[in-house]
Chains A and B, each alone.
Chain A
Amino acid sequence: MQTKMKESEPILEVNNLFASTDNLPILKGVSINVYPGEIHAIMGRNGCGKSTLSKIIAGHPSYNITKGEINFLGKNVNSLEPEERAQSGIFLGFQYPIEIPGVSNLEFLRVSTNARRKFLKQEELDTFDFEDLVKEKLELVKMDSAFLSRSVNQGFSGGEKKRNEILQMALLDPAIAILDETDSGLDIDALRIVASGIKKISNNKMGIILITHYQRLLNEIKPDYVHVMSDGQIIKTGGSDLALELEKNGYEWTDNFVKEN
């Protein structure tokens, strides 16, 4: 529950969202509002619906919204294609970035960046200008430029894949970034690199949703709000200390919560 009065309009408003896949209900009335500059964390057990929520916001075709709405920058995006959502500024950092053999990472990043730039009415970049831009952004995630000449995510280690996701976030400069378990599979050093990259990219106009199991990412990036999800619903919302309590008591502690609102 967010009670604080906000001065600006929300970037993302999820209103009482119900969704299913193959007639199996996954989301059972999720609401969440993200305002500019806010960082939200969504925590919960495996299978609670948090990854699904992120995919639905990004427009994954396997899920049907049965009720409720997703408003992005004041506009209902329920029926927009994933690419339209991405172009307008919704970014999903994948938990398991998929490998795409044969497609060069550089070309992929360029086409993707230009699709966003086109939407923003910015000039599209040719290969040379784009290389300059991407090299600058590589610094943020301490990636070697050799990554650019490889196929998208192919043969990347878990940590390299996640850094490649954050590189994309840096290039696309989204209005909202939903990062799905970006911390999973990372060692402590890689986690720090990724977290510091996210912090550098974030700004007071951007909203961020971190989906995570663990406190350790939240030690690096302090959230304004923490939501606990269970069985397709947000059962508790609090400040950053809620995550600490969760860490201390485990998810069993949340089983006793009565659904708020």
Chain B
Amino acid sequence: MKDVVKEPYKYGFVTDIETEKISKGLNEDIIRLISSKKEEPEYLLNFRLNAFKKWQQMKEPNWAELGYDEINYQDIIYYSAPKQKEKISSLDQVDPKLLETFDKLGIPLTEQKKLTNVAVDAVFDSVSIATTFREELAEHGVIFCSISEAVKNHSDLIEKYLGSVVPATDNYFAALNSAVFSDGSFVYIPKGVTCPMDLSSYFRINSGDSGQFERTLIIAEESSSVSYLEGCTAPMFDTNTLHAAVVELIALDDASIKYSTVQNWYAGNEEGIGGIFNFVTKRGKCLGNRSKISWSQVETGSAITWKYPSCLLLGEESIGEFYSVALTNNLQQADTGTKMIHIGPKTKSTIVSKGISAGKSKNSYRGLVKMGTKAIGAKNYSQCDSMLIGDQASANTFPYITSQQQNSEIEHEASTCRISEDQLFYLQSRGIEFEEAVSMMVSGFCRDVFNQLPMEFAAEADKLLALKLEGSVG
């Protein structure tokens, strides 16, 4: 098989912009400083301090199939923001360099160029730069803004829901995030409203020595629905950058939230130097009856991915879904999956996970399906498929199943396949280029998941996988 020239990570540029950074390290004073910079109310400062206290007593988890050098939490900058004029009232006042950055990333923000069918919240390092279509959304009563703004303007909702799905003490990285979270997106869909357009957050890490700790909170009131997209990129640095986000979703009676992610953080180079350490806690609570939360994710980036978007199925007949494609290449490591916790009766969950491992990478699916004592008539279906490319990559599946309710069903299927030379030859002998043949087979493998993604995202994901795999076979 042949070698193909690799296309470099095309989002690896750094924006040269004056930033305001606080000093390295983590202690109570730093947390107070972050909180005061954001002019936060006292309950939030207490939330942070409490989380920090708990975090200090916690141990970094080591049960995942991951190997990495110890993270020095005192060597990280916990707040970094591009310097801007004090108060920004419109996009015209945003530093053109920032607008240009997002332009280059394919996320134009200005009035003339902005995407027409998606509202975007653009987050640069620790702060949200701009949110488009706010007025249009406001007409429907939809709130879409940065979480910092929500703290100021919708404090009641923040106080009520922040930490209600992922408690500050949930796990090591969630506690860290709760202590130092900088910015992120906030979405509120009022009762009976179908959000008129997709909402999207775009996270950009720019600084090499800062961590990114964003926090997203989405609340869907009774009979409302929203589709939310998340994208992420970072420059190429030869150091590792820590990203520890928390996402909380709440769906009330008959509400539905669809959360799609295309994660393309910088993955490090072929020798495994650099790249993002991605430790993320994502969880949705189907609080209401017949509510639905659907996670779909395409994970292609990061040196390390540790991520288990989960659903707590409380409401009767509530539905949880998890559709995932995780691709690892070179020396990337991913340990990802989901948790479906069935608490209410007649709750249903579906898990479809596709792991693709190329190069010398390591790709594990780890999932938990739990049927609680009251989950009468609950059902789960899980399907975990792995595809190996080359002979040095590894794939693992760790399904954990516990059931306390006899009258419930759990179904699990798993498979592993390898792209064979004969399959490739067959496609090539029909005039299809080698790289295209590989990508056809990979996207064929991922079809069940891509079908769940919003249209533009699916095409994007397809291209992204092809790009990530270039030169990996041979």
Residues of B in contact with A, size category: 20 to 34
| Residue numbers in B under 8 Å from A87 (CB-CB) | 431
| A116-B427 Cα distance, complex, nearest whole Å | 13
| Residue numbers in A under 8 Å from B420 (CB-CB) | 98
B423→A168 contact, CB < 8 A: no
B423→A100 contact, CB < 8 A: yes
A100→B441 contact, CB < 8 A: yes
27 CB contacts below 8 A, A to B, read: A59-B428, A61-B1, A61-B421, A61-B425, A82-B428, A83-B428, A83-B429, A83-B430, A83-B431, A83-B434, A86-B428, A86-B430, A86-B431, A98-B420, A98-B426, A100-B441, A100-B444, A101-B417, A102-B441, A102-B443, A103-B444, A104-B444, A112-B427, A112-B430, A115-B430, A151-B444, A172-B431
Q: Mark A81-121, 1 if CB is under 8 A from B, else 0.
A: 11101110000101001101111100110011001100100
A97→B428 contact, CB < 8 A: no
Q: How many A-B residue pairs have CB under 8 A?
A: 76
| A76-B445 Cα distance, complex, nearest whole Å | 37
Kindly state whether residue B75 has any CB partner on chain A within 8 Å.
no
A83-B433, A119-B431, A168-B430 known; A111 and B440 CB under 8 Å?
yes
Residues of A within 8 A of B (CB): 58-62, 81-83, 85-87, 92, 94, 97-98, 100-104, 107-108, 111-112, 115-116, 119, 151, 168, 172
Q: A98-B420, A102-B446, A172-B431 are in contact. List 8 more A-B contacts (CB 8 A).
A: A60-B425, A86-B429, A97-B426, A98-B423, A101-B444, A102-B441, A112-B431, A168-B430
Kindly state whether residue B447 has any CB partner on chain A within 8 Å.
yes
Partner of A115 from the list B2, B421, B426, B431 (CB cut-off 8 Å) is B431
In the assembled complex, the CB of A51 is this many whole angstroms from the nearest CB of chain B, namely 13
In the assembled complex, the CB of B426 is this many whole angstroms from the nearest CB of chain A, namely 5
A108→B2 contact, CB < 8 A: no
| A102-B421 Cα distance, complex, nearest whole Å | 17
Partner of A82 from the list B417, B425, B443, B445 (CB cut-off 8 Å) is B425
- From B415, which residue of chain A is reached at the shortest CB distance? A101
Kindly state whether residue B60 has any CB partner on chain A within 8 Å.
no
| A201-B317 Cα distance, complex, nearest whole Å | 58
| Residue numbers in B under 8 Å from A151 (CB-CB) | 444
| Residue numbers in B under 8 Å from A111 (CB-CB) | 432, 436, 440
Kindly state whether residue B422 has any CB partner on chain A within 8 Å.
yes
B432→A102 contact, CB < 8 A: no
B444→A102 contact, CB < 8 A: yes
- From B422, which residue of chain A is reached at the shortest CB distance? A98
In the assembled complex, the CB of B440 is this many whole angstroms from the nearest CB of chain A, namely 5
| A117-B431 Cα distance, complex, nearest whole Å | 10
| Residue numbers in A under 8 Å from B428 (CB-CB) | 59, 81-83, 86
In the assembled complex, the CB of A34 is this many whole angstroms from the nearest CB of chain B, namely 18
| A87-B434 Cα distance, complex, nearest whole Å | 13
| Residue numbers in A under 8 Å from B434 (CB-CB) | 81, 83
Q: Which of A82, A87, A168 has the most CB of B within 10 A?
A: A82
| Residue numbers in A under 8 Å from B433 (CB-CB) | 83, 115
| A112-B431 Cα distance, complex, nearest whole Å | 6
- From A112, which residue of chain B is reached at the shortest CB distance? B430
Q: Which of B423, B426, B431 has the most CB of A within 10 A?
A: B431
A108→B429 contact, CB < 8 A: no
In the assembled complex, the CB of B455 is this many whole angstroms from the nearest CB of chain A, namely 16
| Residue numbers in B under 8 Å from A60 (CB-CB) | 425
Partner of A108 from the list B425, B430, B447 (CB cut-off 8 Å) is B430
In the assembled complex, the CB of A219 is this many whole angstroms from the nearest CB of chain B, namely 28
| Residue numbers in B under 8 Å from A98 (CB-CB) | 420, 422-423, 426
In the assembled complex, the CB of A204 is this many whole angstroms from the nearest CB of chain B, namely 24
| Residue numbers in A under 8 Å from B421 (CB-CB) | 61-62
In the assembled complex, the CB of A101 is this many whole angstroms from the nearest CB of chain B, namely 6
In the assembled complex, the CB of B463 is this many whole angstroms from the nearest CB of chain A, namely 15
| A191-B423 Cα distance, complex, nearest whole Å | 25
| Residue numbers in A under 8 Å from B429 (CB-CB) | 58-59, 82-83, 85-86, 92, 94
- From A117, which residue of chain B is reached at the shortest CB distance? B431
| A172-B437 Cα distance, complex, nearest whole Å | 17
In the assembled complex, the CB of B310 is this many whole angstroms from the nearest CB of chain A, namely 27
Interface residues of B in 409-427 (CB under 8 A from A): 417, 420-423, 425-427
In the assembled complex, the CB of A152 is this many whole angstroms from the nearest CB of chain B, namely 8
In the assembled complex, the CB of B450 is this many whole angstroms from the nearest CB of chain A, namely 10
| Residue numbers in B under 8 Å from A103 (CB-CB) | 440-441, 444
- From B2, which residue of chain A is reached at the shortest CB distance? A81
B432→A112 contact, CB < 8 A: yes
A115→B425 contact, CB < 8 A: no
A61-B421, A62-B421, A81-B2 known; A115 and B432 CB under 8 Å?
yes
Q: Which 7 A-B pairs have the closest CB atoms?
A: A102-B444, A115-B431, A112-B430, A86-B431, A103-B444, A82-B428, A87-B431
Q: Mark B230-246, 1 if CB is under 8 A from A, else 0.
A: 00000000000000000
B431→A116 contact, CB < 8 A: yes
In the assembled complex, the CB of A121 is this many whole angstroms from the nearest CB of chain B, namely 14
| Residue numbers in B under 8 Å from A83 (CB-CB) | 428-434, 437
- From B440, which residue of chain A is reached at the shortest CB distance? A103
| A98-B428 Cα distance, complex, nearest whole Å | 13
| A87-B431 Cα distance, complex, nearest whole Å | 5
- From A88, which residue of chain B is reached at the shortest CB distance? B431
| A81-B432 Cα distance, complex, nearest whole Å | 10
| Residue numbers in B under 8 Å from A119 (CB-CB) | 431
- From A103, which residue of chain B is reached at the shortest CB distance? B444
Q: Which of B421, B428, B446 has the most CB of A within 10 A?
A: B428
- From B442, which residue of chain A is reached at the shortest CB distance? A102
| A60-B422 Cα distance, complex, nearest whole Å | 9
In the assembled complex, the CB of B246 is this many whole angstroms from the nearest CB of chain A, namely 34
| A132-B453 Cα distance, complex, nearest whole Å | 29
Q: Mark B190-227, 1 if CB is under 8 A from A, else 0.
A: 00000000000000000000000000000000000000
In the assembled complex, the CB of A254 is this many whole angstroms from the nearest CB of chain B, namely 30
